[in-house]
Chains A and B, each alone.
Chain A
Amino acid sequence: MRDELDEIRRRGGELVLIGNGAAHFAAAFREDLQLASDVPLLVDPERRAYRAAGLRRGRVEMLSPRLPLHALRALRQGFRQSSIAGDPWQLGGVFVITPGGALAYRYVSAEAGDHPPVTELLAAIEERPALSEAQDAPRWQRLLGRGLSRLVDPTVALSFDRTGFRIHSLAFRPGDLEVDLSGRRCLVTGANSGIGFESALALADLGAEVVLLCRSRERGEEAAEQIRTRTANRRVFVEPLDVANLADVREVGARLASDRVDVLIHNAGVLPAERVVTDDGLEQTWATHVAGPHLLTRLLRPALERSPDARVIWVSSGGMYTRRLRLDDVSWKRRRPYDGVVAYAETKRAQVVLAELWAERLRSQRIAVNAMHPGWADTPSVRSSIPGFYRMTRHILRTPAEGADTIVWLAAADAARAHSGRFFFDREPRGTHWLPGTRETDAERRALWKRVEADARRGARA
């Protein structure tokens, strides 16, 4: 690029360089490269601009088979790689922005050593084409994705599994997650592993402050350190919380509510083999999936109201489709034998209805509340809680990151702001009833609210 400086200027462009290392590395870089004194050189150690520009970062991209060829080309051009100063996993890119801020050229490096063709770049500087920034997937790709979805969605397995993710993602807008979440505070329950961990990791990578709410401080700290290392974002914190313990929720919730909350993700989940009753006298699945998250939302409501764009996300399950809302025996005192899978599915159904009820109540405060299901993902809890299902499906499960994708999209994408009170799967709102007899009545919806409010008061007495 240095060699093309004159040509860039002749065509009406001005070169600006941004690096992700510290300022003293930049000064040495300027000297080593004998960079013209009038070329602005800026440093972005926190990678805020890199994230806002949607540039890639990752280990796989550093292992391209073409890397030796790129290195050879650089050597022939007289470059010598010195020690890397900055984030070793960050990739670069080039943008041409016209006066007034329109985009005329975008090149996002897909692997290390990957640079835009110079002729293409110079032409864009001169011609300044108005580039679409909507960044929709190409029309043929979206149509293909929708067509294939119609075929596979009724099969359930080919929709919930990794094939489904690949098909549904054909219609994703690639630019949706090119956002900078700096200054936003996101709370994630059950964030030390699986889908919760991947959600926290992705949000931290987009620059958000992330608070991991985990039962174990030790496991939470391990996860937080991993996220800090992988994202170079230091604003990742741990707050020990057992969401099934209402007294704990009350104490931690009050503490967290002192500051603004922009995103609250109810992800913590359990699937016990036997009936477990919490200190509050609640069945553990109900306490973890319904009563605890409801109380936490209630306590954090003032903190969410302080955000200009607050979002609450309930991580439900596709298993909820099999059950209707049932409130006559949520504590499993009468039903025998206890069935953890049924308890799980019933409480996941309750989460979906509760998200709708919260959305109605928070609509005037412009707080978006949505539920979602991640499909079938390979997570530690799937492995340990439903080993039979895991053995049967392990070759077709989604990765935890694929399972977390819609959570991250709901938490971060501008496009998600338009929705509240919906149930999402793979970034699309979906219906909440497939089977006959699963639709709840208005009276049952009101009874659910009454029930969780009563549970919240139970926490107050504890």
Chain B
Amino acid sequence: MRVADRLAPIVLQQILPSGERRSRPLGSLWHPEPGAPDVPSPRAVVLVFLRHFG
């Protein structure tokens, strides 16, 4: 299974600059979100896993 396919269904909390949170499936980063035009973003996603915050 591809890394992207393993990551895609995982839903994480996105912390917005306002401090608000919203749920985001990781797959939406490289696949269009529901309701969006059915074309993937042309940009490559650079997914950085931090060792920790701080």
Q: Which of B3, B8, B24, B42 contacts A95 (CB 8 A)?
A: B3
Whether the Cβ atoms of A97 and B51 lie closer than 8 Å is: no
A53 touches B7 (CB 8 A): yes
Residues of B near A55 (CB, < 8 A) are 49
Measured between beta carbons, the chain B residues less than 8 angstroms from A18 are: 12, 47-50
Q: A18-B12, A44-B12 are in contact. Are A97 and B6 (CB under 8 A)?
A: no
Given contacts A8-B46, A16-B45, contact A106 B52 (CB under 8 A): no
CB–CB B30/A87 < 8 A: no
Q: Known interface pairs A42-B13, A180-B10. Does A92 touch B49 (Cβ–Cβ under 8 Å)?
A: yes
A101 and B4 form a contact (CB under 8 A): yes
Chain B: number of interface residues, binned into ranges: 35 or more
Which segment, of A19-27, A229-237, A269-277, faces chain B? A19-27
Which A residues lie within 8 Å of B17 (CB)? 30, 37
Would A101 and B42 be within 8 Å (CB), given that A49-B10, A49-B12 are in contact?
no
Given contacts A16-B29, A49-B26, A96-B44, contact A43 B15 (CB under 8 A): yes
Q: Does A256 contact B (CB under 8 A)?
A: no
Q: Are B30 and A90 in contact (CB under 8 A)?
A: no
Q: Which residues in window 69-96 of A have CB below 8 A to B?
A: 81-88, 90-96
Q: A101-B8, A103-B4 are in contact. Are A13 and B45 (CB under 8 A)?
A: yes
A-B contacts counted at CB < 8 A amount to 174
Collect the chain A residues with CB atoms within 8 Å of residue B6's CB.
52-53, 178-180
Chain B, range 5-24, C-beta contacts under 8 Å to A: 5-8, 10, 12-15, 17, 19, 21, 24
- Chain A residues with a Cβ closer than 8 Å to the other chain, count: 66
* Chain A residues with CB under 8 A of B1: 179, 414
> Are B48 and A1 neighbours in the complex by a CB distance under 8 Å?
yes
Asked if A121 is at the interface of the complex by the 8 Å CB criterion, the answer is yes
With a 10 A CB-CB cut-off, give which of B1, B5, B13, B45 has the most chain A CB atoms: B45
Write the residues of chain A forming the contact surface with B, with a CB cutoff of 8 angstroms. Answer: 1, 8, 12-21, 23, 25-30, 37, 40-44, 48-50, 52-55, 81-88, 90-104, 106, 109, 112, 121, 125, 128, 133, 178-180, 414
Contacts of B5 in A (CB 8 A): 101
Contact A97 B4 (CB under 8 A): yes
Contact call A23/B15, Cβ cutoff below 8 A: yes
Contacts of B21 in A (CB 8 A): 23
Choose one: A23, A94, A102, A180; the contact of B47 (CB below 8 Å).
A94
Q: B7 to A121, Cβ gap below 8 A?
A: no
Closest chain B residue, CB of each to CB of A91: B51
Question: How far apart are B10's CB and chain A's nearest CB, in angstroms?
Answer: 5
Whether B54 sits at the interface, judged by CB under 8 Å, is yes
A selection of 15 A-B contacts at a CB cut-off of 8 Å is A13-B44, A16-B45, A18-B48, A23-B21, A40-B29, A42-B12, A52-B10, A53-B7, A90-B52, A92-B50, A97-B3, A97-B4, A99-B42, A101-B30, A414-B1
Q: Are A101 and B31 closer than 8 Å at their CB atoms? A: yes
Q: Whole-angstrom distance between the alpha carbons of A55 and B7 in the complex?
A: 12
Q: Is the CB of B47 within 8 A of A109?
A: no
Closest to B27 in A: A101
Q: In the complex, which residue of chain B has the Cβ closest to the Cβ of A131? A: B3
